[in-house]
């Protein structure tokens, strides 16, 4: 794992992963391909702008010519694919964009990896690849659909996505699996629960609530706020991905989660109390269509087989996260001006 293509590395988890890798693997050379959609933000990478181990490339994962050129130029041995349209609400208004980015974009990367890594690229029966290469698909627990009150998602839970977002991620996972089964490409798929931490775009629950609390604006809570998610501090997601790259068996799926099930309303109240504000700020709004009720991850496979475990408790992770947003008000102000305002009006009235 020396020459790594990271896609979507100007987004929330991708930029955290770039920072994590530069610290943990000082020898690694990173190429960061990102289209800088509304969710991509070069300010997330400002502190490493002059680091010679990180090269930012502005471009689209669906641009096969560009992706192949990058493989030729940098001779990657690893791909970590984060780039995606990632917000469920947006997938309800623009499903087509989710399918092209998340499914077609993934296939474009897989095809380039196959072409460059296969020892006999023109032999359709050959399944031999250069040693040490790996393609890692960053997926989500949302592909499994919703749970009732009991039970957890394991890697063998049937895929049953409910939103255009999760359907596009599930579709991408199946294409990754097919490249492994049909062509023998060494792949890994990770399916993580909800992340929180620095650099998250404030359309997502935790940064949205911190920002609105800080600025004394109403806190929009969908439905009764009792939707349960299993939360993981983003640095723990990054360490899990690095663990799968180092030790994961090719062709396997690994669930990633921290056993932190919380209802949305609990998180909103925790933020309100941490910032010393009043619960009167809460404003219940009409629930989103198809809103999954509960997700929970069984992380037994990655913990027992690969020896990974999260380093942060939910309380520590939330304290670090709230402190980060309080210290980075300028970062937030740059995002919450302009186009984001009209989006916010459309979604929450």
Ligand X SMILES: NC(=O)c1ccc[n+]([C@@H]2O[C@H](COP(=O)([O-])OP(=O)(O)OC[C@H]3O[C@@H](n4cnc5c(N)ncnc54)[C@H](O)[C@@H]3O)[C@@H](O)[C@H]2O)c1
Q: Which residues contact 204 (CB under 8 A, 6 or more apart)?
A: 12, 87, 196
Q: Clarify whether 165 is annotated catalytic.
A: yes
10 binds ligand X, rule: CB under 6 A: yes
DSSP-assigned letter for residue 118: B
CB 85, min distance to ligand X, A: 6
Binding window for ligand X (CB under 6 A); candidates: 58-66, 88-96, 153-161, 243-251: 58-66
Q: Clarify whether 38 is annotated catalytic.
A: no
Of the residues 89, 142, 203, 236, which is catalytic?
142
40 binds ligand X, rule: CB under 6 A: yes
Binding window for ligand X (CB under 6 A); candidates: 111-119, 123-131, 187-195, 282-290: 187-195
- Exactly one of 4, 5, 6, 14 binds ligand X (CB under 6 A); which one? 14
End-to-end Cα, the chain, rounded Å = 47
292 binds ligand X, rule: CB under 6 A: no
- Exactly one of 107, 108, 157, 195 binds ligand X (CB under 6 A); which one? 195
Q: Alpha helices, DSSP H only, in the chain?
A: 12-24, 64-74, 88-93, 95-99, 105-117, 164-183, 205-214, 234-247, 264-274, 300-306, 314-327, 329-336, 339-348
Q: Which residues contact 52 (CB under 8 A, 6 or more apart)?
A: none
162 binds ligand X, rule: CB under 6 A: no
138 binds ligand X, rule: CB under 6 A: yes
Q: Which residues contact 27 (CB under 8 A, 6 or more apart)?
A: 2
Q: Which residue's CB is nearer to ligand X, number 34 or number 292?
A: 34
Residue pair 32/42 in contact by the 8 Å Cβ criterion:
no
- Count of other CB atoms within 10 angstroms of residue 293: 12
User: What's the CA gap between 251 and 253, in Å, rounded?
Assistant: 7
- Exactly one of 56, 71, 76, 82 binds ligand X (CB under 6 A); which one? 82
13 binds ligand X, rule: CB under 6 A: yes
Q: Which residue's CB is nearer to ligand X, number 73 or number 123?
A: 73
Q: Clarify whether 141 is annotated catalytic.
A: yes
Three-class SS state of 299 = coil
**Residues in contact with ligand X by the rule CB under 6 A:** 7-8, 10-14, 33-37, 39-40, 60-62, 82-86, 101, 105, 138, 140, 169, 192, 194-195, 201
- Active-site positions read 141-142, 165
């Amino acid at each position: 794992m020396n020459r790594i293509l990271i896609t979507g590395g100007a987004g929330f988890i991708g930029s955290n992963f770039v920072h994590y890798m530069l610290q943990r693997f000082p020898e690694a050379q990173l190429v960061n391909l990102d289209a800088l959609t509304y969710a991509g933000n070069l300010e997330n990478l400002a502190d490493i702008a002059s680091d010679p181990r990180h090269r930012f490339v502005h471009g689209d994962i669906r641009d096969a010519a560009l992706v192949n050129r990058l493989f030729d130029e940098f001779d990657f041995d690893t791909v970590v694919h984060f780039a995606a349209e990632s917000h469920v609400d947006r997938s309800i208004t623009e499903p087509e964009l989710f399918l092209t980015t998340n499914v077609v974009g993934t296939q474009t990367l897989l095809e380039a990896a196959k072409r460059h890594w296969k020892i006999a690229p023109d032999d359709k029966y050959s399944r031999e690849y250069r040693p040490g290469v790996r393609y890692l698909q960053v997926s989500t627990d949302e592909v499994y659909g919703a749970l009732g009150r009991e039970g957890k998602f394991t890697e063998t839970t049937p895929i049953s996505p409910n939103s255009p977002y999760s359907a596009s991620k599930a579709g991408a996972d199946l294409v990754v699996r097919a490249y492994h089964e049909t062509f023998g490409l060494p792949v890994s798929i990770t399916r993580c629960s909800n992340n929180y931490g620095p650099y998250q775009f404030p359309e997502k629950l935790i940064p949205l609530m911190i920002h609105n609390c800080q600025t004394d604006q109403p806190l929009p809570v969908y439905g009764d706020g009792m939707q349960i998610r299993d939360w993981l501090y983003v640095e723990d997601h990054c360490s899990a991905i690095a663990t799968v790259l180092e030790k994961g068996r090719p062709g396997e799926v690994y669930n990633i989660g921290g056993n932190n099930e919380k209802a949305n309303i609990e998180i909103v109240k925790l933020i309100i109390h941490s910032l010393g504000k009043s619960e009167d700020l809460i404003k219940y709004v009409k629930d989103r269509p198809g809103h999954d009720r509960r997700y929970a991850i069984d992380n037994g496979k990655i913990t027992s087989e690969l020896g990974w475990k999260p380093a942060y408790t939910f309380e520590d992770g939330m304290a670090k996260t709230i402190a980060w947003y309080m210290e980075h008000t300028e970062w937030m102000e740059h995002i919450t001006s302009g186009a984001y305002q009209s989006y916010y009006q459309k979604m929450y009235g």
